[in-house]
Amino acid sequence: MRRLLLLLALIASPSLWAAETRLLTWEEMVPPDAPKVAPVMTPLHDLSKLSDTLAVESSPAAHQLAPDAPMVKALDGQQVRLPGYIVPLEVSEEGRVTEFLLVPYFGACIHVPPPPPNQIVHVTSELGVKVDELYQPYWIEGPMKVKTSSSELATAGYEMEADKILVYELPDS
């Protein structure tokens, strides 16, 4: 707790990190010239379109809409700070999450397709973070690595080895 407070105090003084750390938003992780993906409009439950629904049922399952989503290559190697929600992948014996996916919204919303690869950061952390509530947002800070897809097997994605993980709090204003 004390360490966390210390970190908070360090970060509260902007001059310490503003120089090299870039405050990143999720929109900035999509290249501005990225092609627009045509939305697929299929209502979940609409009996008047039962035949359409059945047609969809018999067709193969929907894939991620843009599996080869473009990445912002300029972010590679940059020290960034980014807020998001933690989706735990690995939990250590002490109950700390040491590997997780950082996503811009909480919960797997079933109304829209899952976020494309350029809206997910795969984060590893040696120390880990104690996650009590899944709907608690966190600040993650660390060097960003951009992996572009070269083959079919390797999916593109953002990766980060987190230096700091802090509870996101609403700014007092």
Partner 1 sequence: MYLLRLAMASLANRRFTAFLTAFAIALSVCLLLAVERVRTEARTSFASTISGTDLIVGARSGSINLLLYSVFRIGNATNNIRWDSFEHFANDKQVKWAIPISLGDSHRGYRVMGTNESYFEHYQFGRQQHLELAEGRAFASDPFEVVLGAEVADALKYKLGDQLVLSHGVAVISLVKHDDKPFTVVGILKRTGTPVDRTLHISLGGMEAIHIDWHNGMPARGNERISADQARNMDLTPTAITAFMLGLNSKIATFSVQREINEFRGEPMLAILPGVALQELWGLMGTAEQALFVISLFVVLTGLIGMLTAILTSLNERRREMAILRSVGARPWHVASLLILEAFALALAGAVSGLALLYIGIALAQGYVQSSYGLYLPLSLPSAYEWKLLAGILLAALLMGIVPAWRAYRQSLADGLSIRL
Smallest distance, partner 1 to C-beta of residue 11, A:
26
Residue (48 or 59) nearer to partner 1, CB:
59
Residue (88 or 143) nearer to partner 1, CB:
88
Residue 88 CA to residue 145 CA, distance in Å, equals: 20
Smallest distance, partner 1 to C-beta of residue 12, A:
28
Residue (10 or 109) nearer to partner 1, CB:
109
C-alpha gyration radius of the chain: 19
Instruction: Give the 3-state secondary structure of residue 171.
Output: coil
Q: Which residues bind partner 1 (CB under 8 A)?
A: 57-64, 67, 87-95, 97, 99-101, 103, 108, 110, 113-115, 117, 120, 122, 131, 133-134, 152-158
Smallest distance, partner 1 to C-beta of residue 6, A:
19
